[in-house]
Amino acid sequence: MPGLYIGATSGYSGKNMVVIGLGLKLKEAGLNVGYMKPVGALPLEKDGKLGDEDAFFVQSVLGLESDAEDVTPVVVTHDFKVAAFSKACDGHLPRIVESYKKLEAGRDLMLLAGSGSMYSGKYCGVDGITVVRELGVKAVVIDRFQKDLKYDYLVVMKEALGDQLAGVILNDIPPAFMEEVQSQIAPFLESRGVKVVGIIPSDTTMGTITVTDLADRLGGKIVSAHANADRIVERFLIGTMQVENFMTHFRKHKNSAVIVGGDRSDVQLVALEGDCPCLILTGNLYPNDIILTRSEVLKTPIIIAREDTFTVAKKMEATLSRHKLRETIKIEQGAKLIAQHLDVEYLKGELGL
């Protein structure tokens, strides 16, 4: 029974996107695909059983209904950490093996999703490398571009997993870096025995978030134009400069949410008239009546955030880089990216399918 573990060099690298995209593609080809997330870091109880939030979501998209306690036999809760730090880790790896044997019965292929990086869980012996070795499955490791690629890490993965490393995926590659990746980095990796099975370009759809979800992530409150809270945010600008400078900057970055102090009505008005997807006012300060009225007329939501501008901007940056694959449009686009840029036939060959 072949199995493929989807791991990564760090968290929020696109593991769910690859699992879902690959799973849907293989199901379309008529394969009976199973799913497992051996270690879950997002505890969620459902129908009286503890599982992982991401695992529940991926199962629903793939149309699977396996027992949550088998799909995610190890869930990292506070109690788990307390026991682990007391060196009480016995039983976790055997439980993963037992659950895997249950879930693989009758399947053509098992897809396994990692949690965090390939080293996450090392303190308790349930890291990705250990799980891959113990189950005897193949692995694909995703490296998401974040200022650079972790090519050293990928070479180390080859040394650690040997032939069990089926390949690596270079994800979220910006246009300006694509030529270097294709002409230099990918050939270098392959010269070291690291097969590059996919180079996935950056896609604005995958990094978007609705105004409603953004308000929730920032711990803020939408105070106007509620009917348009489903507008999409792709990026953001900080409106701390003089209004003339802000206007010049804003014209070059349309469709950006604007983070600005609640007392800067001049910048707020420019952003509203420029049709930004939403305004985020910091310092827990409410806008004046003119701004509120224009917001309603122009159908641009305003979010009130408690923290200062710098703190909100840092939260915003983390949110846009880590926002989860949840909306239908993202699932569809993620599946499309996988179908276009992942060498599925090579992986099927590696897995004997």
**Tens-digit pLDDT profile for residues 207-254:** 678 888 889 888 999 999 999 988 888 788 887 767 766 766 666 666
Q: Residue 267's pLDDT is what? A: 83
Predicted local distance difference test score (pLDDT) of residue 313? 86
How high is the pLDDT of residue 227? 92
Instruction: Give pLDDT, residue 324.
Output: 57
Two tokens at 228?
Answer: 């348009």
Are 277 and 232 in contact by the 8 Å Cβ rule? The answer is yes
Residue 34: the pLDDT is: 97
Task: Look at residue 183 in the predicted model and tell me its pLDDT.
Answer: 96
335-341's contacts with Cβ under 8 Å and 24+ in sequence apart are: 335/20, 335/21, 335/24, 335/25, 336/21, 337/17, 337/21, 337/200, 337/201, 337/203, 337/206, 338/17, 338/18, 338/21, 338/22, 338/25, 338/198, 338/200, 339/21, 339/25, 341/198, 341/199, 341/200, 341/201
Contact present, 326 and 241 (Cβ < 8 Å):
no
Side chain identity at residue 34, one-letter code: G
Q: Which residue has the higher pLDDT, 188 or 247?
A: 188
Compare 214 and 32 and report the one with higher pLDDT: 32
Coil/strand/helix, residue 230: coil
The pTM score is 0.78
Give the class (CATH, top level) of 3-205+324-351. alpha beta
Strand 209-210 and strand 221-224: the pairing is unpaired
Least confident of 133-137, 240-244, 320-324: 320-324
- Split at pLDDT 50, 70, 90, the class of 325 is low
Return residue ranges of the chain for CATH 3.40.1390.20.
209-322
Separation of alpha carbons 298 and 108, rounded Å: 53
pLDDT at position 224 = 93
> Is the confidence at residue 83, as pLDDT, over 80?
yes
Please tell me which residue, 62 or 232, carries the higher pLDDT value: 62
**Structure confidence at residue 119 (pLDDT):** 96
Strands 302-304, 221-224: parallel, antiparallel or unpaired by DSSP? antiparallel
Around Cβ 121, how many Cβ atoms within 10 Å? 25
Q: Is 84 exposed, middle or buried (0-12, 13-18, 19+ CB in 10 A)?
A: middle
CA-to-CA distance for 228 and 205, rounded, in angstroms? 18
Q: What is the CATH number of domain 209-322?
A: 3.40.1390.20
User: 10-14, 129-133, 136-140, 152-156: which has the minimum mean pLDDT?
Assistant: 10-14
Residue 147: its pLDDT value, please?
A: 83
**What sign results for the dihedral spanned by CA atoms 152, 155, 161, 164?**
positive
Average pLDDT, the chain: 89
32 pLDDT band (50/70/90 cuts)?
very high
- pLDDT for res 155: 96
Range list for CATH 3.40.50.300 in the chain: 3-205+324-351
Per-residue confidence (pLDDT) for residue 194, from 0 to 100: 97
Q: Which residue has the higher pLDDT, 169 or 78?
A: 169
The predicted model gives 280-293 an average pLDDT of 92
196 is written with which tokens?
């590059």
Using CA atoms, how far apart are residues 260 and 344, in angstroms rounded to an integer?
45
The angle at the Cα of 209, spanning 208 to 212, to the nearest 5 degrees, equals: 160
